[in-house]
Amino acid sequence: MSHPYASLPGHCFWRRAIAAVPPRDVDPVVTGKFHIGRTDRVASAGSCFAQHISRYLAEAGFNFLITEQLHPFIDPALATDFNYGVYTARYGNIYTARQLLQLLWRAYGTFIPTDDAWLTPDGRAFDPYRPQIQPNGFSSSRELRADRMQHFAAVRQAVEQADVFIFTLGLTEAWENAEDGAIYPVCPGTAAGTFDPTRHRFVNFRMSRILEDMIKAFGFIRERNRHVRFIVTVSPVPLVATAENRHVLVSTTLSKAILRTVCGELDDQFADVAYFPPYEIITGNFNRGGYFGLDLRTVTDSGIMHVMRLFMRHYGNDSEAAQSTGDPRQSPDALLRAIETAAAVICEEDVLDSQ
């Protein structure tokens, strides 16, 4: 009998695409939406999982855009501790769509939060919106504000110069300032600052709000850079904690389902937005849980390798990476091993369960 399924390609069938394929060879991407050339300037931002992608692109020969350079007084060996080179600019992890949108507004002067600095008893200052980018904080509020102005200039440069912008969505849960709605990357009183229940309010964004924020953020960037293309991903890393009165597993499942739906909507609605699936690669049952460490949160090197092999296959070119490193034997796996042993992922969220 003739029917619509008879002529579908193999990737449409579970047996042919998953069950009958070695785990290492499972490829849920099928076809990349566009190609990233070696001269394309690639910017990145997002949750802590996005650091793997940033690090790999920088080492694999892509033109990874860095707009906030290491301060000359800082030892290069400490660059990562001060969040230089972790992302395109020194914004730290951006976990939610609203946080991204507000960063853009702040960088262009259209939103100035009332919460300016968190001061310690000895006068040191922490940035409420980048609480862990400066070990032990800034020496004063004045130093913090000067650094912030430099940072905003770097963000504007990234917006206006990037050819490709990669953003990884990580959370739906956040904490905000009750007065003006300013979003913090982590709950005040954890990484820095003091929690005040009259000023700090929990928010858990729903799908419609997140989609609206992402459309606004990408539209904001397009207005200033009409050539930019976007890649969106969902972090596969489970929540370290939930502020909802429910099991963390249920909150994790709901959060990731919402973020994945948002990415699907963006991919369907916009020709210049592509969804890349590290979430499915890492959490898929085809790998029998092999892509998570003993804590069931940390993504293993083999999982990252699988993700980046597919990224190179569909959005880059393996031979281009080898050419850029000067070693045709430098495989994506070997390159990733070298990168992953060089530096650990920085994740503010971990402070939620530091006991």
Least confident stretch, 24-28, 52-56, 117-121, 197-201: 52-56
Checking if the pLDDT of 318 tops 70, the result is no
H or E element, residue 29? none
The pLDDT tens digits for 237-262 are 999 999 999 999 999 999 999 999 99
Give CA–CA dist 65/77, Å, rounded. Answer: 20
The pLDDT tens digits for 60-87 are 878 999 999 887 878 888 888 888 988 9
Let me know the angle formed at the C-alpha of 334 by 330 and 336, rounded to the nearest 5 degrees.
Answer: 115
The model carries a pTM of 0.90
The pLDDT tens digits for 100-112 are 999 999 999 999 9
Q: Mean per-residue pLDDT for 155-174?
A: 97
Checking if the pLDDT of 15 tops 80, the result is yes
Question: Residue 80 corresponds to which amino acid?
Answer: T
Q: Mean per-residue pLDDT for 17-26?
A: 97
Q: Is the dihedral of CA 242, 244, 249, 252 positive or negative?
A: negative
Using pLDDT thresholds of 50, 70 and 90, give the confidence band for residue 331.
Answer: low
Note the pLDDT of residue 321: 45
Give CA–CA dist 245/101, Å, rounded. Answer: 28
Note the pLDDT of residue 83: 87
Note the pLDDT of residue 323: 45
130-156 in b/e form (b: 16+ CB < 10 A) is bbbbbeebbeebeebeebbeebbebbb
Checking if the pLDDT of 329 tops 70, the result is no
H or E element, residue 210? helix 207-224
Which tokens go with 163? 């050819």
Q: What average pLDDT does the chain have?
A: 90
Which tokens go with 98? 């609203």
Least confident stretch, 64-73, 140-149, 193-202: 64-73
Which tokens go with 328? 């045709």
DSSP 281-294: HHH-GGGTTTTB-T
Q: Cα-Cα-Cα-Cα dihedral of 348, 349, 352, 353, to 10°?
A: -100
Using pLDDT thresholds of 50, 70 and 90, give the confidence band for residue 348.
Answer: low
Give CA–CA dist 81/135, Å, rounded. Answer: 7
Q: Mean per-residue pLDDT for 152-180?
A: 97
The pLDDT tens digits for 297-314 are 999 989 999 999 999 999
Note the pLDDT of residue 325: 40
